[in-house]
């Protein structure tokens, strides 16, 4: 019986700590993947090699990390400095800008960008829904 107690303790400890360890390992892998992508995206120096999807994804990574001002910088650079931007991507960028401004409690600017998104590409559904949702609050 005395030899059984340490074994039961060890097994119960392993059972309790394994899910925590697996959760931490998964979070570390996700974090490293995001940081690797951000590092690669920031290394892109040639404007022609940048595409709208990569910049949008990069801004969303910063949004997910609640780095609002860095995301704003990326999104505004694409919207206001690129005159050849596709209307679909312009709507997505304006919608993301509206979301960021909403998060930092600048509702008037948020509304402005949501409306600009719906004007730029009327088939973009999020652009239609966000001003309605925002005005309900």
Residue among 103, 123, 99, 105 nearest 114 (CA): 99
Per residue in 19-72, pLDDT (tens digit) is 999 999 999 998 888 777 766 666 554 544 457 777 888 888 889 888 899 999
Round the average pLDDT of the chain to a whole number and report it.
Answer: 82
Q: What's the pLDDT score for residue 57? A: 84
> Above pLDDT 70, what percent of the chain?
88
Long-range CB contacts (within 8 A, 24+) of 106-109: 107/134
pLDDT band at 14 (very low <50, low <70, confident <90, very high): very high
- What per-residue confidence (pLDDT) applies to 48? 46
Tell me the CA distances in angstroms from 101 to 67, 68, 121, 122, one per residue in order. Answer: 12, 8, 20, 21
The pLDDT value given to residue 49: 45
Give 17's pLDDT tier (boundaries 50, 70, 90): very high
pLDDT at 89: 87
Query: Is a pLDDT exceeding 60 seen at residue 9?
Result: yes
Q: Which residues contact 111 (CB under 8 A, 6 or more apart)?
A: 98, 131, 134, 135
């Amino acid at each position: 019986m005395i030899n059984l107690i340490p074994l039961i303790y060890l097994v119960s400890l392993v059972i309790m700590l394994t899910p925590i360890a697996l959760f931490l390992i998964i979070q570390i892998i996700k974090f490293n993947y995001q940081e690797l992508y951000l590092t690669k995206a920031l290394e892109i120096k040639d404007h022609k090699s940048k595409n709208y999807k990569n910049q949008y994804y990069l801004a969303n990574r910063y949004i997910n990390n609640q780095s609002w001002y860095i995301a704003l910088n990326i999104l505004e650079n694409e919207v206001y400095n690129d005159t050849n931007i596709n209307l679909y991507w312009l709507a997505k960028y304006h919608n993301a800008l509206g979301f960021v401004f909403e998060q930092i409690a600048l509702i008037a600017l948020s509304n402005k960008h949501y409306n600009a998104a719906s004007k730029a590409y009327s088939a973009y559904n999020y652009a239609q829904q966000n001003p309605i949702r925002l005005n309900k609050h």
